[in-house]
């Protein structure tokens, strides 16, 4: 510290104050969207969203907006991620399946709140880059799979929580077939009345019966079949 000039020290303190103000504003925005779970709020604060964004968007990391990440895909806004995490009621013994890894941001959140996570991504470049980011964070409980999210690998078993991070007209049976008893599945269903605002739906499997409820309206891209060979 003794080697720092007064100007350098001033800049450091100013940056720290600015960061603290940004974090406080970020926290308040999440609460304003109805997120109350302290573990979810804390995890959203701790996972560095900037790491999962192209460098040119790093200064927008704590804004509550969806942003481009490449391959025509986007990273979901933090408030939507928070509402989903809260609806999942995650615990450390839960095994999670995520369809649509993207940049790896949501998988990193799952990794802190749940146990084992398997995440599928149809774009090979996104899957590779996400794995690198997760490794940089020291996250070792996420299995990244380059694969078609609508054609799950054979023998993967059942999952306590399934998040389909994409818009569907109807939910394929393949996901329900891999949902464990007392499991929760969340996906975005297209709404013909509001095509630009699909509904985030929570399905809870209890006693062999399925209970459905609405979480929020959202913005989600359609979930596509197959692997993206070019990317």
> Stretch 132-146: mean pLDDT, rounded?
96
Please tell me the CATH superfamily of domain 33-217, with its number: Vaccinia Virus protein VP39 (3.40.50.150)
- Indicate the pLDDT class of residue 5, thresholds 50, 70 and 90: very low
> CA 156, CA 116: separation in Å to the nearest integer?
12
Helices 38-46, 6-32: axis angle to 10 degrees equals 140
> Stretch 88-105: mean pLDDT, rounded?
97
- The string of DSSP letters for 96-119 reads EEEE--TTSHHHHHHHHHSS-EEE
Predicted structure pTM score = 0.88
pLDDT reading at 213 higher than 90:
yes
pLDDT digits (tens, 9 = 90+) for 183-195: 999 999 988 777 6
> Stretch 76-84: mean pLDDT, rounded?
95
Residue linked to tokens 């969806």: 66
Structure tokens at 46: 């701790």
**Domain range list for the chain:** 33-217
> CA 226, CA 90: separation in Å to the nearest integer?
29
Share of the chain above pLDDT 70, in %: 90
**Residue 178: its pLDDT value, please?**
96
pLDDT digits (tens, 9 = 90+) for 25-75: 888 999 998 999 999 999 999 999 999 999 999 999 989 999 999 999 999
**Residue 68: its pLDDT value, please?**
94
**Residue 3: its pLDDT value, please?**
47
pLDDT digits (tens, 9 = 90+) for 102-117: 999 999 999 999 999 9
> CA 79, CA 76: separation in Å to the nearest integer?
8
């Amino acid at each position: 510290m003794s080697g720092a000039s007064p100007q350098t020290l001033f800049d450091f303190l100013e940056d720290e104050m600015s960061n603290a103000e940004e974090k406080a504003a970020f926290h308040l925005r999440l609460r304003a969207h109805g997120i109350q779970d302290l573990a979810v709020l804390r995890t959203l604060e701790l996972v560095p969203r900037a790491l999962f964004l192209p460098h040119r968007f790093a200064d927008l990391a704590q804004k509550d907006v969806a942003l481009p990440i490449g391959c025509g895909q986007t990273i979901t806004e933090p408030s939507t991620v928070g509402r989903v995490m809260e609806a999942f009621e995650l615990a450390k013994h839960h095994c999670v399946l995520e369809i649509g890894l993207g940049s790896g941001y949501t998988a990193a959140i799952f990794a802190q709140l749940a146990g084992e996570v398997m995440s599928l991504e149809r774009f090979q470049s996104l899957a590779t880059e996400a794995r690198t980011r997760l490794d940089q964070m020291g996250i070792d409980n996420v299995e990244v799979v380059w694969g078609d999210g609508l054609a799950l690998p054979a023998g993967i078993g059942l999952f306590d929580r399934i998040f389909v991070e994409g818009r569907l007209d109807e939910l394929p049976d393949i996901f329900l077939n891999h949902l464990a008893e007392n499991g929760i599945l969340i996906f975005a269903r297209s709404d013909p009345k509001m095509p630009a605002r699909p509904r985030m739906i929570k399905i809870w499997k209890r006693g062999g019966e399925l209970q459905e409820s609405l979480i929020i309206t959202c913005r989600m891209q359609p979930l596509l079949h197959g692997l993206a060979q070019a990317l």
